[in-house]
Copies of this chain bind each other. A is one copy, B any other.
Amino acid sequence: MLSQTGRYALRALDYLATHDDGGYKLVKDISGELNIPRQYLSKILHTLACEGLLHSQRGRSGGFRLSRPAKQITLYEVIDPIDHLSRLCACIMGEKPCGEENPRGDDDPCALHEMWGEVRGKYLDFLQKTTLDKLSSDV
């Protein structure tokens, strides 16, 4: 449902959010702290930087930082470039996309369309409504 890579991304951005002091954080430090393979995390953060969620800075005193306040970044924005959430739109019975407008490809709605859509919807809704700052907020 959520890929390993997506999990890494969430944890790293959570780190950036909770340690946000305006400066750049090193991949080395994040990966050490969170126990995520360093070079791999580097690629993940690079991807998110390309998406505009992060700023990266090369050279000494460089690193990564959030490009917006954590409160303005949704989990959806983090996960989508990694997990390609639109693929989730496939019908549970397969083959063709079975979206709201296009159940089973034409007007032959899969019997489980509604229930399945509800489950999927709950997940996507959750990702879209939850912002990064919520990840570490104490209950």
Contacts and interface: CB of A to CB of B under 8 A. Distances in A.
Contacts of A61: none
Contacts of A4: 94
Q: Most chain-B CB neighbours within 10 Å: which of A35, A93, A94?
A: A94
Count of chain copies: 2
29 contacts: A1-B1, A1-B120, A1-B123, A2-B92, A4-B94, A7-B92, A7-B94, A8-B94, A10-B94, A11-B93, A11-B94, A14-B93, A35-B95, A93-B135, A109-B139, A111-B134, A111-B136, A111-B137, A112-B130, A112-B134, A112-B135, A115-B126, A115-B130, A116-B126, A118-B122, A119-B119, A119-B122, A119-B123, A119-B126
